[in-house]
Amino acid sequence: MISRGSLFYGWIVVALAFVTMGIGVTVTRAFSLLFPSLLDEFGWAFGLTAGAFSVGTLVSTIAAPFLGRLMDRHGPRRVMLLGAMVVGSGLLLAEFMATPGHLYLTLGLLVSGGSVAFGYTAHALFLPNWFVRRRGLAMGLAFSGVGVGSIVLLPWMERVVLAAGWRAACLVMALLVFALGLLNLLQRLRPEDIGSTPDGDATGDARPTFDPRASIVDAAWASVDWTLRRGVVTARFWWIALGFLTSSFAWYGMQVHQTQYLIEVGFLPATAAWALGLVAFAGIAGQITVGYLSDRIGREWAWSVGSAGFVFSYAALLLMHAQPMVGWLYVMIAAQGLLGYGLTAVYGTIPAEIFQGRHYGTIFGTLSVASGVGAALGPWVTGVLHDRTGDYVSAFWVAMGCSVLSAVAIWRAGPRRVRVVAGRLRQGENRVASEHRQLGTNGKHSIAAYDAVQLRSEGGNDGRTPSDNHTEEVPKAGVRIGRSS
């Protein structure tokens, strides 16, 4: 049991995730730094060499559902230690590389594929367990480690490559990754594992700072013991999958082709590279800010803000096609970094609000496959359309449409109809308190009265009052309502 007044361990979990994301994801991105040296030493074709990274991405996408199941059963300590062993071994073995097969096995399968244990998906599997009121802020802070890692580690690793060679850089990265495995022995899956509660609220006889029941809008839905089998037969599951796929399509289409487009419209290569780095820097603030806002305005609105960021970014790029002004470049950077990057802060919170439970990791891991498919399709479709039309105009319009469709899909999934965020809850507290007084409730019965009044005010079902406002029926066949053995 964590003593009152002590630091809530959830913030230590966030700090560990920040460091892990900063190093683990950056190691994967460092493939681009090794790429020129590999070409120079071995003389392999561009496509053959770059294909190792694509294979690793495919493997990580396929592995995501299994990662979720492992996380549910064994927790982040064992999963991330295993990931560190796989990635670190791949980096060490890469020093003995001599053939394309070695490249695909080490930097492809082991490093790029194994890094799924350190990335967005892995952390989104357990971070939502630790927070309810500040879930978006916590995930935004943790994921901002990627931006900090890119800014700090990538330039340093580039100097190592130039000074000592790519093999020395692999050795250094391997040591960092092994250290991550040891660091994550401090990680925990749920606050209940250490006798705490989400957000560090008081337990026992003390009155809790926040009663989780107060956030539930649809009690019938929230009481289901959600499994993957039950989730996949709901429309909400597929709306989330569509939202994830289309957002990743737009995100990675931008990431891969942005630099080349800027060069095509007349910017210097150095300026194009600088813009990409500045987007990552702006993304630090974007992830934290949008995550914070999502706890107050709702997940759908926050996702819409992030999607709008990519719409504005693509629009700015299209305007550069006619007139490559530096002003439009700054608009693109601000929209993508300050708004678009905020999608990552909401990425894990949306399915957590809808499918919260002991099998959430398996469900989210399966949903993340849709993100992987979008990440693969976005760059490829954008490149194909460029080849066929001779420019990026039609491809960027498709990506803008995907961003809009992504926002619509998340609204259709409707996490607000299952659980309301803390900020929205507080906005209604004065009204609910007034209704409590009208009901004549006292402090002893205020929680029950709060449940009934709040759920009815949100159009939900408190299990006592019938509601006709459900957007989707809860699965009936084989579903046990309430606690399950």
Give the model confidence (pLDDT) of 83-96 as tens digits. Answer: 999 999 999 999 99
Quote the CA–CA distance of 265 and 260 in Å, as a whole number: 9
Task: Look at residue 241 and tell me if it is in a domain.
Answer: yes
Task: Look at residue 274 and tell me if it is in a domain.
Answer: yes
16-61: pLDDT as tens digits? 999 999 998 888 877 777 877 888 899 888 768 877 877 887 888 8
**Do 154 and 263 fall into the same domain?**
no
**Do 411 and 299 fall into the same domain?**
yes
**Do 170 and 242 fall into the same domain?**
no
Phi/psi at 73 (5° precision): -90, -35
Could you tell me the pTM of the whole model?
0.75
pLDDT at 427: 57
442-465: pLDDT as tens digits? 433 333 334 433 444 444 444 433
In the chain, pLDDT over 70 holds for what percent of residues?
83
Quote the CA–CA distance of 349 and 301 in Å, as a whole number: 13
pLDDT at 2: 43
Residue with tokens 């930097």: 107
Q: How confident is the model at residue 483 (pLDDT cuts 50, 70, 90)?
A: very low
**Do 289 and 322 fall into the same domain?**
yes
Task: Look at residue 433 and tell me if it is in a domain.
Answer: no
Quote the CA–CA distance of 454 and 432 in Å, as a whole number: 7
Quote the CA–CA distance of 149 and 284 in Å, as a whole number: 10
**Taking a C-beta distance cutoff of 8 angstroms, is the pair 150, 26 a contact?**
yes
**Do 99 and 226 fall into the same domain?**
no
Q: What are the counts of helices (DSSP H) followed by strands (DSSP E) for the chain?
A: 22, 0
How many Cα neighbours within 13 Å face the side chain of 158? 10
Over residues 430-438, mean pLDDT: 43
Quote the CA–CA distance of 417 and 221 in Å, as a whole number: 10
**Do 174 and 126 fall into the same domain?**
yes
Mean pLDDT of the chain: 82
Number of domains the chain is built from: 2
Token pair for 254: 């931008």
245-295: pLDDT as tens digits? 999 999 988 887 887 788 888 888 778 778 877 888 899 999 999 999 999
Quote the CA–CA distance of 326 and 332 in Å, as a whole number: 10
**Do 215 and 150 fall into the same domain?**
no
Name the nearest CA neighbour of 16 among 117, 142, 199.
142
pLDDT at 330: 94
**Helix runs in 100-225, H state only:** 100-103, 114, 120-124, 135-143, 145-164, 166-183, 219-222
CATH of the domain at 78: 1.20.1250.20
Quote the CA–CA distance of 109 and 102 in Å, as a whole number: 10
Residue 439, pLDDT above cutoff 70 = no
Q: Going by C-beta distance under 8 Å and a sequence separation of 6 or more, which residues neighbour residue 450?
A: 211, 214, 432, 436
Task: Look at residue 467 and tell me if it is in a domain.
Answer: no
Domain boundary at 383, 398, 427, which?
427
**Do 16 and 105 fall into the same domain?**
yes
Q: How confident is the model at residue 5 (pLDDT cuts 50, 70, 90)?
A: low
Quote the CA–CA distance of 371 and 240 in Å, as a whole number: 10
How far CA 471 is from CA of 56, 298, 461, in Å, comes to: 39, 18, 12
**Do 4 and 135 fall into the same domain?**
yes
Q: Which domain holds residue 188?
A: 1-195
Residue 231, pLDDT above cutoff 60 = yes
Quote the CA–CA distance of 115 and 85 in Å, as a whole number: 10
Task: Look at residue 453 and tell me if it is in a domain.
Answer: no
Quote the CA–CA distance of 423 and 294 in Å, as a whole number: 9
Task: Look at residue 319 and tell me if it is in a domain.
Answer: yes
Name the nearest CA neighbour of 60 among 471, 373, 408, 473.
373
In the chain, pLDDT over 90 holds for what percent of residues?
42
pLDDT at 39: 83
Per DSSP, the residues of 72-107 read HHHHHHHHHHHHHHHHHHHHHHHTT--SHHHHIIII
**Do 358 and 242 fall into the same domain?**
yes
Task: Look at residue 462 and tell me if it is in a domain.
Answer: no
**Do 93 and 19 fall into the same domain?**
yes
Domain boundary at 427, 449, 474, which?
427
Counting Cβ atoms within 10 Å, is residue 204 exposed (0-12), middle (13-18) or buried (19+)?
Answer: exposed
Domain boundary at 167, 195, 223, which?
195
Quote the CA–CA distance of 423 and 132 in Å, as a whole number: 11
Quote the CA–CA distance of 26 and 173 in Å, as a whole number: 10
Task: Look at residue 180 and tell me if it is in a domain.
Answer: yes
**Do 171 and 292 fall into the same domain?**
no
